[in-house]
Amino acid sequence: MDASVARRLLDGLLDSQGWSQAAFAAEQRRRLGAIVGFAHAEIPFYRSRLAPLFRGDGSIAWDAWADLPILTRQDLARHAGAMRPSALPPGHGDTHDFSTSGTTGEPVTVRVSRFANVVSQCCLFRGQMWNHLDWSGDVLTWFGDSGPEAEPGVHRRGPWGPPWRPGSTGSLFSIARATPAAEVIDAARRLRVSYLMGRPRTLQELAAETLRRGETLPLRGLLTFGAETTGDAREACRAAFGAEMIGGYASKEAGLLAYDCATCGKRHINADTVLVEVVDARGRPVPPGEVGRIVVTPLFNFAQPLIRYDQGDLGVVGTAEAAHTALPVLERLAGRTTDLFRLRDGRVLAPSIPESIGESAGAALWQVAQVDEATVEIRYIPAAGRRFDEAVFSQAIAQYLDPGLRVRFAMTPALGKGQDKFRRYSFEA
Ligand SMILES: [Zn+2]
């Protein structure tokens, strides 16, 4: 797909974010109507699922939207082939299959069109512009568990800014995930990169290593994806790198869903390219400010439309609209639905322990895992020069989770490299 398409798309996104709420909502609904109309007409899997949405004359009964069934990861694992049309409308380009093994459950494969991929890439460019990132600087990402990126050494992966922009001269470098943190720091220093990229917990590990060596490494930003950035991770990065974490929320299935905004300090949903709903167990929207399941409908991936797909994450949408943009606010992520703790008496909890507890207890990194129905394990790395105080966590578990839980402790030299190990809360019972 040529650069002029991406360029027009990015210009379009920079325009639509500034529309009035009414104009924005109308356009979002038009785009949603286009993809559900296509799915209903062209894809057998969706014919009956979406039937309640279509009146006899073919018009859409939007009132029925919240009653449409939620598409689960299991649906995707079992029926992915049936969710794909026999042909794409013109202009969507060729397609690419992404597999995601996930940390729990069955692996799924999603087919993504070139066009949808470019849309997601342009959302990322827009997010980078919100944060005034400098595309002439270099980026090092600590990434790659398999394939060529997992080979030892530093790999130059090409430019990371929009190629049509004259200032996009910086390169993205990657270094395999198996590389020890100390070597990643050395490589970043040698390459004189402006930015480090990784999951929040991997960046936090790099920050902890830098501080442990009594050093600092001045950077312009820490670029991060996926899991929620935590207060202690942000603090560690400020101390080690003198820079802020700039985060996005993305998935292989749905592309870039939201990105941090330097103007208001919130995270905006890319609602011009994806419908993000936060719903209860019945699929009905929960009020802003309350935790619910994140359900997404990407608006441009006609190669495999995902209509009301349960992303497996819990989140909260903001109560207030930002004055400077029509894009809604994703107040916070609240963990994975698989990370809910389940107590013996049948209660299901979304654990939420204040970030300040880690600092008080003297932990550089910490994770709470429920290991059986009555026990949680606190895994931690002590902060440099501090003695870890178990009592602080024992009290926090009693106060914020349940006083009946047994608490045990495990000091770990480094929290594991798997994505699941980087969660704040892990349900393993
Ligand atoms: Zn903003």
Ligand 1 centroid to 263 CA: how many Å? 5
CA of 267 to the centre of ligand 1 (A): 7
What do you get for the CA distance between the two ends of the chain, in Å?
47
123-157 in b/e form (b: 16+ CB < 10 A) is: bbbbbbbbbebebebbbbbbbbeeeeeeeeebbee
Supply the pLDDT for residue 421. 47
Q: How far apart are CA 80 and CA 145, in angstroms?
A: 25
Distance from residue 79's CA to the centre of ligand 1 (Å): 38
Pairing of strands 363-372, 425-427: parallel
List, edge to edge, every strand of the sheet that includes 425-427. Answer: 406-411, 375-382, 363-372, 425-427
CATH 3.40.50.980 domain extents, the chain: 132-248
State both tokens at 378: 């606190």
Tell me how far the alpha carbon of residue 158 lies from the centroid of ligand 1, in angstroms. 29
DSSP 235-262: HHHHHHHS--EEEEEEETTTEEEEEE-T
Q: 405 CA distance to ligand 1 centroid (A)?
A: 40
CA separation for the pair 235, 11 (Å, rounded): 35
Q: What are the per-10-residue average pLDDT scores of the chain (429 residues)?
A: 88 95 95 98 95 94 96 89 94 91 70 96 97 97 78 91 94 92 95 94 91 94 81 90 93 92 94 96 89 94 97 86 88 77 81 84 88 91 88 93 92 58 72
Q: Are 273 and 299 in contact (CB under 8 A)?
A: yes
Answer for the pair 253, 303: CB distance below 8 angstroms, yes or no: no
Going from the Cα of 274 to the center of ligand 1, the distance in angstroms, rounded, reads 17
Q: Where in the chain is the domain with CATH 3.30.300?
A: 340-427
pLDDT at position 101: 66
Ligand 1 centroid, distance to 331 Cα (angstroms): 11
What is the CATH number assigned to the segment(s) 3-124+261-338? 3.40.50.12780
pLDDT of residue 1: 60
Distance between Cα 128 and ligand 1 center (Å) = 12
Task: Find out whether 108 and 100 touch, Cβ atoms under 8 Å.
Answer: yes
Q: How far is CA 43 from the centre of its chain?
A: 28
Neighbours of 379 (CB within 10 A): 19
Ligand 1 mean position to 248 CA, how many Å?
13
Alpha carbon of 326 to ligand 1 centroid (Å):
9
**Model pLDDT, residue 341:** 83
Q: Distance between CA 277 and CA 368 in Å, rounded?
A: 28
Indicate the DSSP class of residue 80: G
Ordered alpha helix ranges (H), 161-230: 181-191, 200-212
- For residue 280, the CA-to-ligand 1 centroid distance in Å is 26
State the pLDDT at residue 230: 75
Residue 352: is it exposed, middle or buried by C-beta count within 10 angstroms (0-12/13-18/19+)? middle
- Rounded distance from Cα 323 to ligand 1 centre (Å): 8
Query: Ligand 1 centroid to 329 CA: how many Å?
Result: 8
| Distance, CA of 73 to CA of 84 (rounded, Å) | 16
CA dist 220 and 241 (Å) reads 8
Name the CATH topology of 132-248: Rossmann fold (3.40.50)
CATH number belonging to domain 340-427: 3.30.300
Could you give the residue ranges of the DSSP H alpha helices within 43-180? 44-49, 73-79, 114-130
Distance CA 304, CA 292 (A): 25
CA of 135 to the centre of ligand 1 (A): 21
d(CA 237, CA 413): 19
The confidence score (pLDDT) of residue 419 equals 41
Q: What are phi and psi of 324, to 5 degrees?
A: -95, 0
Closest CA relative to residue 306, chosen from 316, 314, 294, 318: 294
Nearest to 246 by CA among 203, 190, 275: 203
